[in-house]
Amino acid sequence: MLNERTDRISSRAYQYVCEVLASEFRGSKSGGMMKRLERAFAERFGVGYAISFINGTATLHAALAAAGVGPGDEVIVPPLTMASTSFAVLHAGAVPVFADIDPDTWTLSPASVAERITERTKAIMPVAIYGLSPDMDPIMALAETHGLFVLEDDAECFLGTYKGRLVGTLGHAASFSFQSSKHATSGEGGMVITNDPDLANRVRRFGSLGYAAVGAGEGKISKEDIQDPGYARHVEIGWNYRMPELCAAVALEQVERLDELVAWRQESARLYAEALEGCDWLTPQAVPEGYGHAYWTFVARLNRDDITWHDFRRKFLEFGGEPFYGAWRLTHLEPAFRNRRFADYQWQEFAPGLCPVAEATQPRLMQFTTNAYDRAEMERQAEALAKTVAYFS
Ligand SMILES: Cc1ncc(COP(=O)(O)O)c(C=O)c1O
């Protein structure tokens, strides 16, 4: 049972931050928070390796690069996601290929993925959009048949479940974000998890300037290694994507409280769903049997042509509702992508018509925030939704 309210960031985070400051970032003392965070994260997800990053875009880039994705490759992505999913593919030098979404769950459609696979396809990036897992069994089956790498983009899905398994443990690797709107936050931050030790080593090296001394379980370079003029430090070319210790301190407190933080979001979603009972023109994201939705945000589709998205949102705000987040345009229709060519071999035109289900769905999605860690506030939000529905009914 949840209390009446909770602090999003508790006093324990302040204590951890003070521990970092007391270390004065000196080499021999710092690095501890990152290790503690990674251990706590790996334990909570029951995986072999957790590697921390500066954000949940760097994670995707590093995981793709570590899996050998590069120029000449295609990576299948959904268009209904935050643009980082596709940007990371471009950062890795590959080209995103957009597959359509399911009309009810709005997650990547396995049937559409199957249609988009070519001899250049190297990876698939299913996204647990708004906190709901895609249908991973058929996606993993396709990956197995075609020898593809599957990177889950779970930036929005902490502790979601799929057929009894934790989201993040379904693909070959998974990426999470600690950006400020997420279930667990350190302002900015990210994490890659995997059970594959070789992949974990490469992910770490890629995000840590290719240092020879770092690896899956070790993110820090020792003084002994460095204080040798002949020491070969860099065995690979890498980016400097490490999470700062101060962020790790806050993220550690959040991971220790992860179950509680997710439960608050799920409770918010339950109240919104209650507010929509009996309304046949605002349909929440469908949660198939056996799935546990983490509700980064509660999303419903507006199935009326006489009210616009903006009309509905304006009224919701007038009734005391909070502004939405996550109402991104479909990635292939963003100016950065639309009608652009990223490589000679790019075979998709990034233009309307590429993903008809997503294009019919996205302009109608209303995203209600679930980040009120206060029962009275979440009730006010649900009431604002109920009033808006009543107004337009
Ligand atoms: C689905 C998805 N992928 C990737 C990201 C990128 O994470 P970050 O902002 O930490 O880079 C986000 C959110 O910000 C996201 O929602």
Rounded to the nearest angstrom, the distance between the alpha carbon of 78 and the centre of ligand 1 is 14
Would you call 182 a catalytic residue per the annotation? yes
DSSP per residue over 299-354, as a string?
A: EEEE--SSS-HHHHHHHHHHTTPPPP---PPPGGGSTTTTT---STT-----STTS
If one residue of 156, 167, 181, 185 were mutated to test the ligand 1 pocket, choosing by the most ligand atoms within 8 A of its CB, it would be 156
If one residue of 87, 179, 191, 241 were mutated to test the ligand 1 pocket, choosing by the most ligand atoms within 8 A of its CB, it would be 179
Active-site residue among 29, 35, 163, 182? 182
Q: Are strands 161-162 and 165-166 parallel, antiparallel or unpaired?
A: antiparallel
What's the confidence (pLDDT) of residue 1?
Answer: 67
Those residues of the chain that have pLDDT short of 50 are none
- Which is the closest atom of ligand 1 to the Cα of 154? 1
The pLDDT tens digits of the residues spanning 249-293 come to: 999 999 999 999 999 999 999 999 999 999 999 999 999 999 999
What's the confidence (pLDDT) of residue 345?
Answer: 83
Cα–Cα distance, 297 to 117 (Å, whole number): 31
What's the confidence (pLDDT) of residue 373?
Answer: 94
Token couple for 343 = 């490589």
- Residues 6 or more apart whose Cβ sits within 8 Å of residue 180: 187, 188
What is the spatial order of strands in the sheet that 165-166 belongs to?
Answer: 165-166, 161-162, 291-292
What's the confidence (pLDDT) of residue 46?
Answer: 98
Rounded to the nearest angstrom, the distance between the alpha carbon of 316 and the centre of ligand 1 is 26
Is residue 110 within 8 A of residue 135, CB to CB? The reply is yes
- The sign of the CA dihedral 162, 178, 382, 1 is positive
What's the confidence (pLDDT) of residue 28?
Answer: 61
Distances from the Cα of 315 to the Cαs of 261, 272, 276, 320, 331, in angstroms?
Answer: 29, 16, 16, 9, 28
Pick the CATH number of 11-257 from 3.40.640.10, 1.10.540.10, 3.90.1170.50, 3.30.365.10: 3.40.640.10
Cα–Cα distance, 317 to 381 (Å, whole number): 10
Rounded to the nearest angstrom, the distance between the alpha carbon of 305 and the centre of ligand 1 is 31
The answer, yes or no, to whether any atom of ligand 1 lies below 6 A from the CB of 154, is no
Q: For residue 265, give the nearest of 370, 128, 378 by alpha carbon.
A: 370
E strand or H helix at 11: helix 11-22
Q: For residue 185, give the nearest of 248, 127, 264 by alpha carbon.
A: 248
Topology of domain 259-392, per CATH? Aspartate Aminotransferase, domain 1 (3.90.1150)
Question: For 84, left (φ over 0), alpha (ψ -120 to 50), or beta?
Answer: alpha
Rounded to the nearest angstrom, the distance between the alpha carbon of 321 and the centre of ligand 1 is 24
Distances from the Cα of 164 to the Cαs of 128, 139, 157, 259, 355, in angstroms?
Answer: 15, 17, 15, 16, 30
Q: Where are the domains of the chain?
A: 11-257, 259-392
The answer, yes or no, to whether any atom of ligand 1 lies below 6 A from the CB of 190, is yes
The answer, yes or no, to whether any atom of ligand 1 lies below 6 A from the CB of 215, is no
The answer, yes or no, to whether any atom of ligand 1 lies below 6 A from the CB of 136, is no
DSSP per residue over 108-143, as a string?
A: BPHHHHHHH--TTEEEE--B-GGG----HHHHHHHH
The answer, yes or no, to whether any atom of ligand 1 lies below 6 A from the CB of 151, is no
Token couple for 274 = 């209650």
The answer, yes or no, to whether any atom of ligand 1 lies below 6 A from the CB of 155, is yes
What's the confidence (pLDDT) of residue 344?
Answer: 83
The answer, yes or no, to whether any atom of ligand 1 lies below 6 A from the CB of 127, is yes
E strand or H helix at 64: helix 58-66
Exposure class string for 190-220: b at 16+ Cβ within 10 A, else e: bbbbbebeebbbbbbbbbbbbbebbbbbebe
What's the confidence (pLDDT) of residue 60?
Answer: 98
Rounded to the nearest angstrom, the distance between the alpha carbon of 182 and the centre of ligand 1 is 9
Q: Where are the beta strands (DSSP E) in the chain?
A: 49-53, 74-77, 95-98, 121-124, 149-153, 161-162, 165-166, 173-177, 190-194, 282-284, 291-292, 297-302, 365-369
What's the confidence (pLDDT) of residue 227?
Answer: 80
The answer, yes or no, to whether any atom of ligand 1 lies below 6 A from the CB of 57, is yes
